[in-house]
Structure 1
Amino acid sequence: MRRELGIARCGMACCLCCENITCKGCRKEGFLELSWCKDAQWCENRNCGIEKGLNGCYECKPAECRKGLYAEKLSVRGFAEFARRYGIEELLDCLERNEQAGIVYHREDFTGDYDGFDDLEKLIDFIRTGKR
């Protein structure tokens, strides 16, 4: 886990993505040149947060939002909602513990153990406990 990358503005767990060792994440200065996320400039969630003056979607109402990634990725919305409720540090602590226990953020096809949930509360409980 690269904890220093933290959580993206949208809620993606940059800290768990090891695709690009030079990636700084979308919240860091110079991210467009070094970011793995090629859509960062056009990311509806990222841009909405910037327009509202937020550090991330977790400072808004992610459970209610269906913009951009939130329309299709419950996992991203779940990370943001978890951070809203419990804080970024608690989210990072849980993700780190879960990774050490063998829970996978994403595989080659970008699905992982946090995907496949159809209920936000069950996903949040899984993040918190590491148990389905």
Structure 2
Amino acid sequence: MRRELRIARCGLACCLCSENIKCSGCNSGECPDKEWCENRKCSIKKDITACYLCKEECHKGLLNKIKPYGFTLFIKRYGIEELLDCLDRNEKNGVVYHREGINGDYDDFDNVEELISFIKSGIQ
């Protein structure tokens, strides 16, 4: 885990992304998706650094996917450091962020509360 890359504006875990060799995270200004990312544009417009700092309930852009939405909701409840600690522990215990392509163990949920429970426990 490259903890220094932290969490993207939308809630994706840049710190665990298998593409982080080409990307320094969305806040670096070097993100390859910065031109089309709806979450980046919206958070910049609202003058906040991430969607988890927004007071609105939102499913725009990547927040319509379970993983970034669940990570964002987790941060709102427990804080970013707690999420990073859980992701680090889970990775060390064999939880996979990206299996093939961009899907991994955190994508195997239909219910956000079950995902949040998995993040906290590392057990499905």
From 74, 78, 103, give the equivalent of 1:86: 78
Counterpart of 1:51 in structure 2 is 45
Using structure 2 for the length normalisation, give the TM-score. 0.92
Distance in 2 between the 1:25 and 1:104 partners? 19
Q: Runs (4+) of structure 1 moved beyond 4 Å?
A: none
Distance in 1 between the 2:75 and 2:55 partners? 11
Q: Deviations over 1:74-127 (max 9, x none)?
A: 111001111111111110000000000000001232110000211111101111
Q: Which structure exhibits the higher relative contact order, with contacts defined as CA atoms closer than 8 Å and separated by 6 or more residues?
A: 2
Is the 8 Å Cα contact of residues 61 and 81 (structure 1) preserved in structure 2?
no
**1:109-120 alignment to 2 at 5 Å?**
109-120=101-112
Q: Does 1:69 align with 2:66?
A: no
Distance in 1 between the 2:63 and 2:39 partners? 8
Change (3 A) 1:113 1:13: same
Q: Percent identity?
A: 60
From 96, 100, 113, give the equivalent of 2:92: 100
Distance in 2 between the 1:123 and 1:2 partners? 22
Decide which moves more: 93-102 or 107-116. Answer: 107-116
Counterpart of 1:15 in structure 2 is 15
Is the 8 Å Cα contact of residues 105 and 111 (structure 1) preserved in structure 2?
yes
| Uncovered stretches (5+) of structure 2, i.e. residues with no partner | none
Q: CA RMSD in A?
A: 1.5
- How many aligned residue pairs are there? 124
Using structure 1 for the length normalisation, give the TM-score. 0.87
Deviation at 1:18, TM superposition (A): 3.1
Distance in 2 between the 1:129 and 1:115 partners? 16
Amino acid at match of 1:84: K
